[in-house]
Amino acid sequence: MWKIQDITSKLLPKQVGHYKLGRRAGPLLFLSGQIAVDPISGKVIRSYDDLPADVRAKLATGRLNIDTREGPIAAQTWYTWNLVRELLEEQGSSLDHILFVTTYILDLDWFPTLDRVRNFFFPHGHPPGTILEVNELGMGKEILIEIEVVALIPDKGG
């Protein structure tokens, strides 16, 4: 029988919500939904300006009308996937070992932008998953996307 243990992270000194970051059961990792909130300042990621300059340069189109419209969901999607990547790596896993993803989004019309950003993290195809449109996430309407994953923690040998 697999031992079940709660996980913690040095990346998230304080949790946004009153729930566990995740649980490990044998080689499986269940990561709670992650959102685009800086864990130190508590600041919500709202635009390309909240991302590192090199990322901003890759994601932004340079067209004001498109970047104004897509910027918030693109920035939050990138930030959240990057956080998921870092958390998985900290636990001995990776994006390549994701078994299933559940994505919650406030507006399915944003899917093309979400997909464009997600492809930066999964250039050879993304893992199976479900995308659900919801009315609100955790901290209110300023949170546009939440991502939770189930991943495999591979043996050290493979």
Please report, for the domain that includes residue 125, its CATH number: 3.30.1330.40
pLDDT in tens, 66-112: 989 999 999 999 999 999 999 999 999 999 999 999 999 999 999 99
Q: How many domains does the chain fold into?
A: 1
In a domain, 157, yes or no: no
In a domain, 14, yes or no: yes
**Mean predicted lDDT score pLDDT of the chain:** 93
In a domain, 121, yes or no: yes
3 Cβ contact partners less than 8 Å away, ≥ 6 residues apart: 25, 26
Question: pTM for this structure?
Answer: 0.93
Return the higher-pLDDT residue of 147 and 18.
147
The Cα–Cα gap between 8 and 23 comes to 9
Q: Which domain holds residue 44?
A: 4-152
What is the pLDDT, as a whole number, of residue 13? 63
Return the higher-pLDDT residue of 11 and 74.
74
In a domain, 158, yes or no: no
What is the pLDDT, as a whole number, of residue 17? 66
In a domain, 71, yes or no: yes
Task: Give percent of the chain above pLDDT 70.
Answer: 96
In a domain, 20, yes or no: yes
Count the Cβ atoms, other than its own, within 10 Å of residue 129.
16
Residue 157 has pLDDT above 80, yes or no: no
